[in-house]
Amino acid sequence: MTPLLSIIILAAGQGTRMKSDLPKVLHELGDRSLLEHVHDVARELGPRIIQVVYGHGGEQVRERLTHLRVQWVEQAQQRGTGHAVEMAMPRVPDDDIVLVLYGDVPLVRRETLSRLVQAAEQSGFGLLTATLTDPTGYGRIVRDARGKVARIVEHKDANTAERAIAEINTGMMAIPARRLRAWLSRLENNNSQGEFYLTDVVGMAVGEGVEVQTVAPASLEEIMGVNNKQQLAELERAYQRLQAQQLMTQGVTLRDPARCDVRGKVTVGRDVCIDINVLLSGEVRLGNRVNIGPNCVLRDVVVGDDVTILANSVIEQSVIGNHCAIGPFARIRPETQLADGARIGNFVEIKKAQVGPGSKINHLSYVGDTTVGANVNIGAGTITCNYDGANKHQTIIGDDAFIGSGTQLVAPVEVGAGATIGAGSTICRDAPAGELTLSRSPQKTVTGWKRPQKKSKH
């Protein structure tokens, strides 16, 4: 029977070099904190339990991440990685395998961790190591004459020969719980940092005849940690590269994979094309043959098939039907629904509105708290006056209505089906179906009127 897995995520570090009031593991990649990324990959391994060891600012971490199914373990004083793991051991049954992860190393992959756990099952100790051109700062993997792992020496405790070793300890390891518990109880802190080093259990394992099996990550970003804002930015880029790769694997055309950012979850149909500088955030669902122009932002949007979104459009919490055209420079705010074939043009703001099939709002308008029927044409510069300073009111526009340019619809108001509103009207009462309604002050001409002249100075 394969043993069950107990995962311990170390997250008690202060993160001083982030120069931030936010605890380090709460900083984000994409739309999720570093710790959530680690939690999510840990969860995919199907563990019995995930424990997070928190310390400095920990209450803030717990409060912000209450949705995570983890056990929180406080390490009040940071006395080293070995001490941190020990804090979590009381909840770990003897027959489990313990997997140690770091809360600030967010891009490690499930496949890599599975291999690490398998190594522990086979040999009794799995250690994730990597070979770096600049190993400065890391613990080094010391191997014996036969090339077997002998121990780990921390950079600060290493001599010149040891510092020349390029193979480093990533910190991630998998160890059967019973043995780990015994080794942890024997740790000492007589080293240069006065800490209880988790890494010392490697030497103890070897001393007991356990062969430490090393596993290498598929790519180096998997083992990269975040200690400062530069590293956070580098990992964000790495994360975005992965998202872009995934989109392209699903058939999306990205005009430049380095200029499309995903902060959430995106699902796509076939032949989706995304131009440069596009941000997709929250949950975005794109149908077949959706074209997104440059500089667009979509947040929590469902888009149907054959939709074109032109440059510089911003769409939030809305549902877009099939065959719609949006933008350029359109702003579609939350709770909007566009039915099939609707068109929203430039400098148009839509909020909390249902726009019926085939209806057009093509230029410079504000339509909010409104129901627009089918095949309605709303002329340039139309404004729904939905707010009286205290409350919002509804506008209803029936099928086939024609709203002339420069109209103000003072809500609550209803325009009947097939009604025509003359350009420049201020509509305060309901406009009947099928009729022309307009409100316009009579035009007059003052004959013989002269423009004022500039007074001449002497």
The set of catalytic residues is 363
Neighbours of 334 (CB within 10 A): 12
Residues whose CB falls within 8 Å of the CB of residue 255, separated by 6 or more in sequence, listed in order? 273, 274, 275, 276
Residues 155-184 within binding reach of ligand UD1 (CB under 6 A): 168-171
Q: Which is nearer to ligand UD1, 199 or 213 (CB)?
A: 199
Q: How far is the CB of 155 from ligand UD1 (least distance, A)?
A: 8
In angstroms, what CA-CA distances link 160 with 25, 127, 167?
A: 33, 24, 15
Helix or strand (DSSP H, E) at 62: helix 58-64
Q: Which residues of 413-439 are buried (b: 16+ CB within 10 A; e: fewer)?
A: bbbbebbbbbebbebeeebeeeeebee
Rounded Cα distance between 355 and 346, Å, is 16
Q: Interface residues for ligand UD1 in 306-345 (CB under 6 A)? A: none
Beta strands in 144-255 (DSSP E): 149-153, 167-176, 213-215, 253-254
Nearer to ligand UD1, 92 or 152 (CB): 152
Collapsed DSSP state (helix, strand, coil) of residue 337: strand
CB-wise, 13 or 304, nearer to ligand UD1? 13
Provide the mask over 17-56, with x wherever binding to ligand UD1 is found by CB under 6 A and - wherever it is not. ------------------------------------x---
Q: What is the x/- site pattern for ligand UD1, positions 193-232, by CB under 6 A? A: ----xxx-------------------------x-------
User: Interior CA angle at 28 toward 27 and 32, to 5°?
Assistant: 130
In the complex, minimum distance from the CB of residue 211 to ligand UD1, in angstroms, rounded to a whole number: 19
Question: Please, is 16 exposed, middle or buried when counting C-beta atoms within 10 Å of its C-beta (0-12, 13-18, 19+)?
Answer: exposed
- What does the alpha-carbon distance between residue 225 and residue 383 come to, in Å, rounded to a whole number? 52
Closest distance between ligand UD1 and the C-beta of residue 54, in Å?
Answer: 8
By beta-carbon proximity to ligand UD1, the closer residue of 149 and 301 is 149
- We find the least distance from the C-beta atom of residue 173 to ligand UD1, in angstroms, to be 9
CB nearer to ligand UD1: pick between 12 and 330: 12
Q: Is 254 in the site for ligand UD1 (CB under 6 A)?
A: no
Please report how close the Cβ of residue 79 comes to ligand UD1 at its closest, in angstroms. Answer: 5
Minimum distance, C-beta of residue 242 to ligand UD1, in the bound complex (Å): 21
Which backbone phi and psi does 59 adopt, to 5 degrees? -60, -40
| Residues in region 67-106 near ligand UD1 by CB under 6 A | 75, 78-81, 83-84, 102-104
Q: Which is nearer to ligand UD1, 168 or 232 (CB)?
A: 168
The residue within the footprint of ligand UD1, chosen from 36, 86, 96, 154 (CB under 6 A), is: 154
**Beta-carbon count within 10 A of 292 CB:** 29
**Interface residue list for ligand UD1 (CB under 6 A):** 10-13, 53, 75, 78-81, 83-84, 102-104, 138-139, 152, 154, 168-171, 197-199, 225
